[in-house]
Structure 1
C-alpha cells in the first residue's frame, strides 16, 4: 500500500472541513482533504440552501463572538471570490413567552453592539401581514442577520483551497485512522496517507471512528420542504427582499425557515425531533414517512397560512447531535495532533468560516485563537460525574 506525507489531513470535507482545509493551505501547509462523497453534496448537512446566520445568539457570549467573527469571514470570502454568499434579509425570531424568553439575548446584543428590536404580536402582524401569531407572543428581530447560500459557500472554499495548493480527494471513504506519537496515518481502500496532524470533521459519520474517539454524537434524519404561497393575499408577501428569515418556537416545537428565493417557495424545517440514523444504514428520502410533509405543513398553517400551498420540493438531511446541543471542538484526549470538530447539532453551518480559522490556529500555533472551553470534549465526563453524584444522593 502506497504512503504519502502531508502536514495536515482533513477527514470529512463538508462545511467545517472545507473551511479548515482552505485556512490551512493558504498558510502554507501541505494539506489533504478526503471526503467519502464529492462536496458540496446531498449526503450530509450542508445541502438544500440556504442557512440562517444570526448574531444575537442563544448560548451566551462564546456563540455571539464566534457568530460575529464568522460574519466577518463570510464577507472576506465574498470579497475573495466575487460571489454573493450572504443576504441581509433580517431574521425574525418569534416565541411563546411561556416557553422561551429573549431577555438574555437582548442583553448579549447590547453588550456586543448588535442591532436588535423587540416586537409584540401587533407589530409582527403589521410589518409582515403574512404572519399569524397569538396576541401574547413576542419576537426579537435582528435586521443585520440573514442567510447564507450554503452550497455556494462550500464550493467557494473548495475552489480557494485548491488554488492555495490543497489536494482534495473525493468519493474516497476513509477506512482507518491510526494515531502515533508524532504522526497519524489515514487509510483508504488503496492508499495510506501520513500527516503530522489530522482534523476529524466527519459530520454524521463521526461514529464510524468510534475506535479512535468515542464522542457522544448521534445522527438523526431531518427534513425540510419548500411550499408555494397560495391565494392573492399571499402574492409577494413571502418573497425574498420583503420577508425575513424566521424561527418560531412554542409547545409544539421549534421551526425555522426562509422567504421564497427566486420563486422557489417558502422553505421550512423543524429543528427538534428527527429519526435516528447510523452510518451504513439506508437513508430514507423525503416523503418516506407521512410526517415529513404534514409536520411542516401544520407549522405553516399555524404561523404562515398564506405559505401553506403546494409542496414544491422536499429533501432529507442529517443532524449530528451532542447531548447538550453544543459543538465539540477540541483535541483528542490522548493525541493532541488530532483535532476533533463535530456535533454541530443542526446550527453549526453559520459558524464554519470562523471554525476553520480556529482549527488552523490550533494546528499552526498550538493554541486556540479564542476561549472555546464550552466546546471541550471533557465536559461530558464532568456532566456524567455530576449526574452520578446526584443519583447517589437520591
Structure 2
C-alpha cells in the first residue's frame, strides 16, 4: 500500500548517533519512493555510524551537518530549512537527543532546527531498553509532549537489541515509519467514531498464586488501538494482564478474568460504533477459586472442576446495545477459513480475523502477523507484515464493511 498522502510532502529527516542510523538510509529511500521530497540533517555522532555520502546519494540533496556552515549561513540556512519542512522526522532519536531537546538546547544544527521550526516534529526513539525505561528518559518525553502539542512519538518497538538485551527500545522499521509519517497528512478516517477493543489473555484463578491462561501477548490488540487512535477514533482498550505501554490517546481498562472483561465491555457500549475482540479469552475457569494457596500433596490439583466462561464477543453481538460492527478474532492451527466461517455464523458477528497461531513466525508474542479477513461475502488474506500494518489493514476493511445485509 503506497502512502499517497506523502506525495509532494517535504520531510526533513534528522539522524542522530545511534546504531539504528543504518536503517535511516532505507527510510529515506522509502519516503522518496512514496513521493516525498526529503532533506537530511545529521548530527556529528550520526556521521560515525553512516556516511553523509550515502544519504546524499539516496536523497539527491546535500546533507546538512554543521550549524556553522559559512555558505549555508549566508542565507540563514538553518532558518530556511526549518521553514521548508512539512514535518521533521528524527530517526533514530537517541536518549541524548531527547534530553537535549527537552532542555531547549541548540548546540548543533538538528537541535537548532527543532527550536526554530513551527512544523510538527516526530521522534522515532532508539536506545537500550534500560535507557528507554529510565525515569529520566520517560520524564523528558512526558514534558516534551506536554509543551509541544504537535510532537509525535513513533515507537519504539520491542525485540532483540544490538547489545543483546531484549525489550522496548528498537527503532520501528522504515516501512512502519513511512506509514506513520503518511498518517500525519491524512484526514482522520475514524474521527467521531468510538471503538472498543479487547486485548491480551485472561487469567482464571485456581488459588491466589495459580491460574489458567494462555500465551497471548496483547500485541495485536494494542496495535489496533494505537492505529485507530491515530486515525482519529476515540478508543477504549480493555486489556488482560500484559506488559505493554498504553498507546497515546487511548483509554485503557485493565482486567484479569473473563467475567471482568465482559463486564467492562458491556459498560463501554454506550455510543460504541465498533467492537473488536482480539483478546484470547480463557474458555473455562475453575468452578471454585481457593481463598488460600493449595498446598502440594494436600489438594488434588489433577481434578479441578471447570465451568465455561461467558462468550464475550457473542454476548456483545446479541446485546441490546450492539454496535453496528462486531469483529471477532479466531486463533486457529488449521483450516482457517472453514473455522472462521463457522465462527462468523455461530457468534453472529460481521467479520472474523483468523490467524494461524501454530506458526512461530506469526504466532503468540510475535511482532509479525498474517491474517485472513473473512465475511459472508469474501475472504481476503493479508501479510505477513508487522502488526501495525496488519492493524491498518483490518481498520480499512472495517470502514468498508457493509452491515446492511
* Structure 2 length-normalised TM: 0.26
